[in-house]
Structures are given as structure tokens and as C-alpha cells.
Structure 1
Amino acid sequence: MGCAGSSQTKGDGSVKKIRKPKPWKHTQPITKTQLMQMRDEFWDTAPHYGGRKEIWDALRAAAEADLTLAQAIVDSAGVIVQSADLTICYDERGN
């Protein structure tokens, strides 16, 4: 018998498998250099919006890795994945 609020999970507990996000499109054509600059700016400023730098570093490493390695990074960093494409994630503290 379980808790009143418990639910059945699939074999591996509450771990959500990640997947590649849908392709992103800018409103205007941009060069690869511009795209890389935009990515660097995002990752440089992201910790200022909340959360620990270590978690942001783990998310960046996961975003730049293949899916198997990305899953391992997210799992080992204790990141709680709400959206399988990593657009919504939390750390253990809820940040």
C-alpha cells in the first residue's frame, strides 16, 4: 500500500528521459558566428537569473553533449527535468 498521493512510475522512478529540442529559428537569417555569440551570451548571463552556477554549468555541458552523456550529466548533477527538451529544469532547491 502506498501513500495517498503516490502514483505509479515506469521502472526507473521519477527520472525523466531527455530528448533533443525542436529546431530553433531566428526571425532573420544569422551567421554561425552570430549564433555562437548568442549562445555564449545566454550561458554567461543565465546564472544571474537565479540558481547555482554549478547547475547552469551542468546544463550547458548537457546541452552541448550527445543524449546519452547529457542524461548522465543531468542525473549526476541532481537536475530535476520537467520538460524533456531541458527548457524547464530545477535543482534540488527548486531554483
Structure 2
Amino acid sequence: MGCAGSRDKGDESSKKIRKPKAWKHSEAITRAQLTQMREEFWDTAPHYGGRKEIWDALRAAADADLTLAQAIVDSAGVIVQNPDLTLCYDERGARYELPKYVLSEPTNLIRES
């Protein structure tokens, strides 16, 4: 037996994800620069450790709306430590850190016309 509130903490992988809080890049950047930063991160992410299929699932979740992203991380068995997906683990305990720039746009993004 335990207290009633303790049972909700048992399954960390079911933590609801949310969009990251607003953030600002060190200097204003264009969408093209942001896209390049994202591509460079995703191209090198598997070299940081962890499993490629988890990195692929996290990339798909980062590009999806919240409902689909939740389904992706749940089906991949990703354990969400931070609800904004900046820190996750797989079932084997490997750590996956995502920078905010792959999850959302900065407040100082230059809108090209």
C-alpha cells in the first residue's frame, strides 16, 4: 500500500510532453540558419550514444504536433525526463539530450520575405 498520489509516478514514460518554453538565440538567425543547425544536430546525434532508432523516433517527435509526438515517444519506449523532450532516456538507460533549437523556433528568428 502507498499513498494515493504515489501511483501516478510509477510510469515515467507516460509523462505528457509539451512545447519548450520560449527561448532566444544568442543572435538573430534566419530560418535557413536554423534549419542548418537542426540538420547538423540530427546528422551527428547518433554519435552521442544511444540507439539510432530512438534518435529517429525523437526526430520524428520533434517534427510532429504534440499529439503525434506523444504517440511516437510512447510507442518507441522513450522515457521522458523533461516534458519538453530536452532530456529523455531509453529503456536501457541511455541518455538523449535535445537542444531547444530542434524542438521549437527562437523568439528572435528573422522572418524572411
TM-score by length of 1: 0.87
* CA deviation vs aligned residue, 1:10-64 (integer Å, no higher than 9, x gap): 7x94410000001232111111101000000011111101100100000000010
2:17 is matched with 18
2:27 is matched with 28
2:81 is matched with 82
Q: Give unpaired runs (5+ residues) of structure 2.
A: 95-113
Q: Give unpaired runs (5+ residues) of structure 1.
A: none
Bigger RCO of structures 1 and 2 (CA < 8 A, at least 6 apart): 2
* CA deviation vs aligned residue, 1:54-87 (integer Å, no higher than 9, x gap): 0000000001000000000000000000100001
1:93 is matched with 92
How many residues of Structure 1 are paired with residues of Structure 2 in the alignment? 90
CA RMSD of aligned residues (A): 1.7
Superposition misfits of 4+ residues, deviation over 2 angstroms: none
Could you tell me the percent identity over the aligned residues? 79
Q: Distance in 1 between matches of 2:52 and 2:11?
A: 27
1:37 is matched with 36
